[in-house]
């Protein structure tokens, strides 16, 4: 009978610690405040703002992006439900994939509805 592999939280998060510090200090590159849109603190002119909104609308309607995101969701779910039953790290990886997709979809949606 195969032994189940025990995985400690320290082992699972060990490789994440260095990059986590960088991400905790990360300031969003793109920010929307009121009617203004800023990149690295610099306000965009109306043309660049409309371009970003238009590109977000295009991404939201993109069939290719939809296919890719569905494939990634499937991979994340498989990590959680198939591999995650024996490997705690797979659960974290799967949830991270699904969380990343959720954030991306929300960002695209929110940018696409701006005026």
32's enclosing H/E stretch is strand 30-33
The more confidently predicted of residues 83 and 62 is: 62
- Summary mean pLDDT of the chain: 83
What integer is the mean pLDDT of 82-111? 87
Q: What region, left, alpha or beta, does residue 40 occupy, with left being phi > 0 and alpha being psi -120 to 50 degrees?
A: left
Q: Where are the domains of the chain?
A: 17-112
What confidence tens digit (pLDDT) does each residue in 82-95 have? Answer: 887 776 788 888 99
In this prediction, residue 50 carries a pLDDT of: 93
The more confidently predicted of residues 111 and 21 is: 111
In this prediction, residue 83 carries a pLDDT of: 80
Contacts 24+ apart (CB under 8 A), 88-96: 88/7, 88/12, 89/7, 89/11, 89/12, 92/12
pLDDT band at 104 (very low <50, low <70, confident <90, very high): very high
């Amino acid at each position: 009978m195969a032994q189940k592999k025990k995985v400690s939280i320290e082992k699972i998060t060990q490789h994440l610690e260095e990059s986590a510090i960088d991400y905790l200090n990360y300031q969003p590159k793109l920010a929307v405040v009121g009617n203004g849109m800023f990149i690295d603190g610099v306000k965009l002119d109306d043309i660049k703002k409309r371009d970003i909104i238009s590109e977000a609308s295009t991404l939201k309607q993109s069939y290719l992006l939809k296919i890719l995101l569905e494939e990634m969701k499937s991979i994340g779910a498989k990590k959680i439900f198939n591999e995650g039953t024996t490997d705690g790290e797979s659960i974290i990886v799967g949830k991270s994939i699904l969380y990343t997709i959720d954030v991306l979809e929300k960002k695209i949606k929110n940018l696409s509805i701006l005026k």
